[in-house]
Amino acid sequence: MASAASFSYAAALTSTVRNKFRLMTWNIAGLDHEPDELRECTLAQCEEVKMYSPDVVYLQEVTPSTCGLLRSTLQDYKMIPAAEGRYFTAILLKNSSVQHLSGSIETFFGSKQGRQLQTVRAKCADAELTLMCSHLESQGKSAGERVRQLKTVFERIEEASSNSAVIFGGDLNLRDKEVTKAGGLPSGVFDIWILCGEPPDAEFTWDPTQNDKLEFPFKMTAKCRFDRLYLKQGTASGLKVVPERFMLVGKKRLPVCETFPSDHWGIVCDFKVEETK
C-alpha cells in the first residue's frame, strides 16, 4: 500500500471516484487560546479540510466558539457535534457523498474530563459504515481510565452490525503498552497505520520536536502516536473497505500567529471499497 510519501496534492483535490472515500481525523486544539489566534487556527483548519476534501471528518476539542465557525465555513458538510459542553468531538459528513443514517453518544462515566464515544452510522461509496470518534482521557496519570475507555470502545466495535465496516479513531492519547493492557486488539480489528505499511513520516501525530505550538519549560524529546485509526470489516456486507494511503496534515505554519494550527498533526486516510471474493 502507498505511504504518505507517495501522496500528491493533485490526488487530494481530485478524489471523487465512486468506490473510494477519504477520512480525516484531527484534534484541532480548541482550548486555551486567545480569541484572535483561535479564529486564525480554526480557519486554517477549515482550509485544510477544503483542500483535502475528505468525505468524513472526525474532530476533537471542538468548542462552542469554534463550532459555529466550523459550521459556517464548511457548508458542504453536515456537522454532528457530540455535546454542548466546554469541548467535545464532532463528526462531519460531506453532503454530496455521504448519507447519514443514525447516531448515538455514550458517556464514559469514569471520565473526569467529560469524554465520550460518538458513533454515526452512514453510507458512503456504496458501503455501510459505523463511524466511531473519541477523545480518550488525557495525560499519563489517567492511563487506567484511558484503558477502561478503550475496552469499552472495543466492546462496541465487536457489537456493531456485521453488515457495516467500523472505523474508530481520534485523539486516543494511547501508548502501545496501553493497548496491550486493554487485552490487545480484538479479533478482526486492525491498526490502519500498520495496514498502510507503517509509513515513518506519518507515525508521530504529537511531536513537539517539530511542532512548537505548545511551550514547555524544558526541551521536549518525546514523540507520540496519540492519534490513531482502527478498522473492522463488515463480514456480512459482501464488501471490503481497504485503506490505501495514510498521511499527516496541518504542517503549514500560520502567517499571523506564526505557529501551527494545532499541537497535533491531523491524519488523512484514503480507502477503496471492493467486493469480497
> Catalytic site residues?
171
For residue 185 the three cell numbers come to 486488539
Counting every residue written for the chain, the total comes to: 277
Write the DSSP assignment of 134-187 as a string of letters: E-PPPSGGGHHHHHHHHHHHHHHHHHS-TTSEEEEEEE----HHHHHHTTSSPT
Write the DSSP assignment of 216-251 as a string of letters: -SS-----B--EEEEEE--TTSSEEEEEEEEEEE--
The secondary structure of 86-142, three-state, reads: CCEEEEEEECCCEEEEEEEEEECCCCCCCCEEEEEEEEECCEEEEEEEECCCCCHHH
Residues 271 and 229 sit within 8 Å (Cβ to Cβ): no
Q: Closest Cα to residue 261, out of 17, 106, 1, 42?
A: 42
Which amino acid is residue 258, in one-letter code? E
CB count within 10 Å of CB 122 equals 23
Query: What is the distance between the terminal CA atoms of the chain, rounded to a whole angstrom?
Result: 19
